[in-house]
Amino acid sequence: MEIYLIRHTAPKIDKGICYGQSDIDVQNSFEDEVETIKKNLPETIGSIAVYSSPLVRCKKLAQCFSKEITFDDRLMEVNFGDWELQPWDAINEDDLNTWMGDFVTIAPPNGESYIQLSERVNTAFDAIVNASGKDKIIVAHGGVIRAIVAKIKQIALKDSFNIKIPYSHVVKLVKDDKGIHIKEGLILSECN
């Protein structure tokens, strides 16, 4: 079985704004980005089961691959709580530094920690992988895909931002009798 993890295209939001589960639309470059993504997918795309975050930046992309999509809230990006749609430089510096010091276990006010995201995402991923034997596309977010790849590669969550997932990026996984493996699309930066 092949599984394609696809990050949504560029969102229509100013740089420097904190967003996670806010429902942000896509940039005008959407159509061009979709064409680039399709070059990294098999020609038999119509027969692949498609799963997606329900947020519009993922939903629009998923609809380019199939009319039948399973939307799953567990595939949504991290919830930044009270920080959603705030400029990063407007967030209380002490709160931000505390969170950045341990983003794996500390959540923003009224939000969720990265370990909470990882647990819900990987529960969803396991269910998707174990559903029918069809190949699969999962359209999701950078944090979601990092959490999946980190689990597969046994990378500590605190180091998972060394996994680079640009907008419109495709990571191809293969599931065989030995487990799940990354076949293409893994970009790692140097660990600190």
Mean pLDDT, to the nearest integer, of 35-45?
Answer: 89
Q: For residue range 129-156, what is the model confidence (pLDDT) as tens digits? A: 999 878 999 999 999 999 999 999 999 9
Q: Which domains does the chain have, with CATH numbers?
A: 2-184 (3.40.50.1240)
Q: Above 70 in pLDDT, residue 192?
A: no
70 backbone dihedrals φ, ψ, rounded to 5°: -100, 110
Give this prediction's pTM.
0.94
Percent of the chain scoring above 90 in pLDDT: 89
- Which pLDDT belongs to residue 188? 74
Mean pLDDT, to the nearest integer, of 10-38?
Answer: 97
Token pair for 62: 């998923």
Length of the chain, please? 192
Q: For residue range 59-111, what is the model confidence (pLDDT) as tens digits? A: 999 999 999 999 999 999 999 999 999 999 999 999 999 999 999 999 999 99
Give the dihedral sign, CA 104/149/77/24.
positive
Q: How many CB atoms lie within 10 A of CB 107?
A: 18
Token pair for 35: 């064409």
